[in-house]
A and B are shown apart, each in its own frame.
Chain A
Amino acid sequence: MKDDYDVIVVGAGPGGSMTAKTAANAGLDVLLIEKRQQIGDPVRCAEGVNKKYLKEYIQPDPAWISAEVKGSKIYAPDGAMVEMSEKIAGAEVGYVLERKVFDRALARDAALAGAEVMVKTRATGLLMEDGFVKGIKAEHMDEKYNIRADIVVGADGVESKVGRWAGIDTTLKPKDICTCAQYLMTDIEIDTDFCKFYVGHKIAPLGYVWVFPKGNKMANVGIGITGNMSGEVRAKELLDDFVQKRYPGGKVIEFIVGGVPICGTIERTVANGLMLVGDAARQSDPVTGGGIFNSIWAGDIAGKVAVNAIKHSDVSAEFLQEYETKWRAGLGRDLDMSLVVKERFMRLTDDELNTLGHSLEGIDLGSVTLIGLLWALFKANKKLLWDLRSIFKGIKEIEMEASVEVNS
């Protein structure tokens, strides 16, 4: 470890590793630190990702693909099932990953691109000078270090402190976090072609249960509930209820927990000498909780902006605004739209969810766009349309009608 770098990336998840890789590839002097001693472990994720998007950034490797799925099946409380092909099932299905291997492969790619990687190394604060972030305070093996850098990238996950240290309030309210528990189960009968989602207030208050195949007779069986519903009951207890009913003979070979930001876009993700990426920037989707691809995508942008900023010797918030502008242009609207959908769907009763499920049951949703799907849904349930009108603002009604008619 040196005492000065162009860029320090805090956190070696997918977002951090991608930032480090992109910056190092362009010749920057990069340090990537991970507070845990093992990158990617413990996993805090259901591991679903859209394979089409992912392929644009990483060459698929069977070593980190646990399963490939065709789409999603969503179950209403009474069992009504809505099937969605991967094209419209949000950005969360296609591959079910083995994150332990995947995360490590991304960190390896960053290392091979020239980044220095340090594990068991934790940022404990920022070095600040004249209102600029100038590096980090770090701890490694019970020793303290000050490490300087022109740019610090906070990719330190849901529990991010880097943003807070730089004056960006990333604190989540209970309603802004999805509190999750998941078992890796085996010896269970599962549909290996589909990711399944179960909604309903009894099953998962303001959240859902997921069953993501991980290969033959194996699946990630997990639950996420909105933080304000947690307390009297907990994610783990609800998961145990579900598992007991659905997979009574199943065997649990791993247990993980986690929190996922579902708050939508935050006020800002840059400061002088600083950028935030991934869960630290609250870039995960408020409806699905998915964030793997978003983090990788945003990390690549952050890496490129870092390169540009160093080239121009300008790491001010004004210059780094390029990152903020680009990620908001590509993802901000999706996140905000998701937030509106989330908040409306949270108010639906189980009966209303059943009605919605039945209104779509049996319709071939093969290649409808998400907007088209929502439109079909709201044509059948007009009350929803008014509440979600902001989503449709600017989208021509005819386009949506056409996309539904062609495929239904």
Chain B
Amino acid sequence: MTVKVNRFKCGYCGACVSVCPPGALELIETWIEVDETCTDCGICAKICPVGALEVPK
């Protein structure tokens, strides 16, 4: 549950939400929230069109 969202880069499109296997992400108006079910799989970070998500190593 450590994926970090850079709100200054994020375009709040929700693409990351759609690929999250456990459904840990949610798009709320202009920001992304991450809940405790995040497994750090990194798929969201990979597909983000602007690179706003980061899974710390």
**Measuring CB to CB, which residues of chain A are less than 8 angstroms from any residue of chain B?**
35-37, 42, 44, 120, 122, 157-161, 164, 170-174, 177, 179-181, 227, 230-231, 234-236, 255-259, 261
Contact of B23 (CB < 8 Å), options: A161, A257, A259, A261: A161
Most A Cβ at <10 Å: residue of B48, B49, B50:
B49
Asked whether B28 lies within 8 Å of A35 as measured between CB atoms, the reply is yes
- How far apart sit A213 and B20, CA to CA, in the bound complex (Å)? 34
| Cβ of B22 to closest chain A Cβ, rounded Å | 9
Contact of B19 (CB < 8 Å), options: A180, A227, A234, A256: A227
Which residues, 4 to 38 on B, are CB-close (under 8 Å) to A? 11-21, 23, 26-29
Residues of chain B within 8 A (CB-CB) of A231 are 45-47
Given A36-B29, A161-B26, A172 and B19 touching (CB < 8 A)?
yes
Asked whether A230 lies within 8 Å of B47 as measured between CB atoms, the reply is yes
Asked whether B13 lies within 8 Å of A234 as measured between CB atoms, the reply is no
Asked whether B49 lies within 8 Å of A230 as measured between CB atoms, the reply is yes
- How far apart sit A34 and B37, CA to CA, in the bound complex (Å)? 25
Asked whether A164 lies within 8 Å of B23 as measured between CB atoms, the reply is yes
Given A159-B18, A177-B15, A259-B13, A35 and B46 touching (CB < 8 A)?
no
Asked whether A179 lies within 8 Å of B18 as measured between CB atoms, the reply is no
Chain B residue, CB-CB nearest to A260: B15
Chain A residue, CB-CB nearest to B25: A159
Give 19 A-B contacts (CB < 8 Å), ordered by A residue: A35-B29, A36-B29, A42-B12, A42-B13, A157-B14, A158-B15, A159-B17, A159-B26, A159-B27, A164-B23, A171-B18, A172-B19, A179-B47, A227-B19, A236-B51, A256-B13, A258-B13, A258-B49, A259-B18
Asked whether B15 lies within 8 Å of A257 as measured between CB atoms, the reply is yes
Instruction: Given contact pairs A172-B18, A181-B11, enumerate 18 new A-B contacts (beta carbons under 8 Å).
Output: A36-B29, A42-B12, A122-B28, A158-B17, A159-B15, A159-B18, A160-B18, A171-B21, A173-B19, A174-B46, A177-B18, A179-B48, A179-B49, A227-B46, A227-B47, A230-B48, A236-B49, A257-B13
Residues of chain B within 8 A (CB-CB) of A160 are 18
- How far apart sit A161 and B17, CA to CA, in the bound complex (Å)? 9
| Cβ of A129 to closest chain B Cβ, rounded Å | 22
Whether B1 sits at the interface, judged by CB under 8 Å, is no
Asked whether A257 lies within 8 Å of B18 as measured between CB atoms, the reply is no
- How far apart sit A246 and B53, CA to CA, in the bound complex (Å)? 29
Asked whether B18 lies within 8 Å of A181 as measured between CB atoms, the reply is no
- How far apart sit A257 and B21, CA to CA, in the bound complex (Å)? 21
- How far apart sit A221 and B50, CA to CA, in the bound complex (Å)? 16
Asked whether A181 lies within 8 Å of B50 as measured between CB atoms, the reply is yes
| Cβ of B54 to closest chain A Cβ, rounded Å | 12
- How far apart sit A181 and B14, CA to CA, in the bound complex (Å)? 13
Residues of chain A within 8 A (CB-CB) of B20 are 171
- How far apart sit A255 and B9, CA to CA, in the bound complex (Å)? 12
- How far apart sit A160 and B43, CA to CA, in the bound complex (Å)? 17
- How far apart sit A36 and B27, CA to CA, in the bound complex (Å)? 10
Chain B residue, CB-CB nearest to A234: B51
Residues of chain A within 8 A (CB-CB) of B14 are 44, 157-159, 258-259
- How far apart sit A127 and B18, CA to CA, in the bound complex (Å)? 22
Residues of chain B within 8 A (CB-CB) of A230 are 46-49
Residues of chain A within 8 A (CB-CB) of B49 are 179-181, 230, 234-236, 257-259
Chain B residue, CB-CB nearest to A230: B47
Asked whether B19 lies within 8 Å of A261 as measured between CB atoms, the reply is no
Given A230-B46, A234-B50, A259-B47, A179 and B15 touching (CB < 8 A)?
yes
Asked whether A257 lies within 8 Å of B50 as measured between CB atoms, the reply is yes
- How far apart sit A255 and B12, CA to CA, in the bound complex (Å)? 12
| Cβ of B57 to closest chain A Cβ, rounded Å | 15
Chain B residue, CB-CB nearest to A182: B49
Residues of chain B within 8 A (CB-CB) of A44 are 13-14
Residues of chain A within 8 A (CB-CB) of B18 are 158-160, 170-172, 177, 259, 261
| Cβ of B10 to closest chain A Cβ, rounded Å | 9
Residues of chain A within 8 A (CB-CB) of B43 are 174
- How far apart sit A36 and B14, CA to CA, in the bound complex (Å)? 12
- How far apart sit A165 and B19, CA to CA, in the bound complex (Å)? 15
